Structure 1
Amino acid sequence: MKRVIGIGGIFFKCQDPEKIREWYKTHLGFDVNQYGAKFEWKQEGDSTNKGYTLWSPFAEKTKYFEPSSKDFMINYRVENLEALVEELKKEGVTVLDNIESYDYGKFVHILDIEGNKIELWEAKD
């Protein structure tokens, strides 16, 4: 079974997400929206199938990264999230919540052995 197939996003805390987005837009050319910037790419083995990686600044006081105390969180793209979560549970990995489904995919959060919160995402590309 495949597990992680790519990086879905990089999320980080900052003092002023709006100013950070504008700075990256002005100085590095990021095409930003209210969530950050989307970097599109084509999937290996099938150049007709596009995917994307999200770059997203969060407010410094966000609780979204909890229970981790870190200033960042990485979102990993996966295939077959349900099967992966079952395997992770068998392996003793801390699964923080239930799988949630949205128009753009399914999500669940886990902790690594140092308490870093990780977001797993099965995309609907």
Structure 2
Amino acid sequence: MISKQADNRTALKKVTGIGGIFFKCKDPQKMREWYQTHLGLSTNQYGSVFEWYQGADSTKKGFSQWSPFKQTTKYFAPSTKEFMINYRVADLVALVEELKKNNVTVLDSIESFDYGKFVHIMDIEGNKIELWEPNDIEYEKLGRQLGSQTTK
């Protein structure tokens, strides 16, 4: 027999993909330029956006962000690590409720923007994790407004 708790875990879709990779570096501008020149990334002021099609529905686009940050950034705090990973999730509100019930450290409240909802948690080794429930249609519109191109 499956317990009710196990049923809820099975029903709740959690991480659906990588939303972004963020890392510290000495000079983010030079880092973006190097990756653009040598590895062909289409870069903007935030890094690069990778465009892909979702496995669950191949008619829908998805996006992942690659972003170098200054070494002095406080955005990764309280983690002392040089990186932070952003995971795409399906239902952030329900996931945060479940994480809190399981005593996972949730660092802030859910923030909502046109392009999605965000919250930050800590894993068991002190890595700050960003969870993102994306609105890919609005995210793509924002990219167009910024004049950025995606890396494909």
State the TM bucket, normalised to the shorter chain.
Answer: over 0.9
> 2 CA distance for matches of 1:15 and 1:45?
38
Q: How does 1:1-125 map to 2 (within 5 A)?
A: 1-125=12-136
For 2:77 and 2:105, locate their aligned partners in 1 and report how far apart those are by CA, in whole Å. Answer: 13
- Identify, as 1 or 2, the structure richer in strand: 1
Q: How far is 1:45 from its partner? A: 2.9
Gaps of 5+ in 2: 1-11, 137-152
Report what 2:149 is aligned to.
Answer: none
Greater helix content: 2
SS in 2 for 1:95: coil
Q: What is the CA distance between 1:124 and its match in structure 2?
A: 0.2
Structure 2 distance, partners of 1:115, 1:38, is 26
TM-score (norm 1): 0.99
Superposition deviation, residue 47 in structure 1: 1.4
Q: Which amino acid aligns with 1:92?
A: N
Residue 58 of structure 2 aligns to a residue whose secondary structure is strand
**CA shift for structure 1 position 46:** 1.4
Write out per-residue CA displacement over residues 29-69 of structure 1, whole angstroms, 9 at most, x where no aligned residue. Answer: 00000000011110113111100111000001000000000
Q: CA RMSD of the aligned region, Å?
A: 0.5
Give the share of equivalent positions with the same residue, in percent.
72
Distance in 2 between the 1:17 and 1:76 partners?
22
Secondary structure at the counterpart of residue 21 of structure 1: helix
Q: Deviations over 1:65-117 (max 9, x none)?
A: 00000000000000110000000000000000000001210000000011100
TM-score, normalising length: structure 2: 0.81
User: How many residues of Structure 1 are paired with residues of Structure 2 in the alignment?
Assistant: 125
Structure 1 runs, 4 residues or longer, greater than 4 Å off: none
Greater Cα radius of gyration, structure 1 or 2? 2
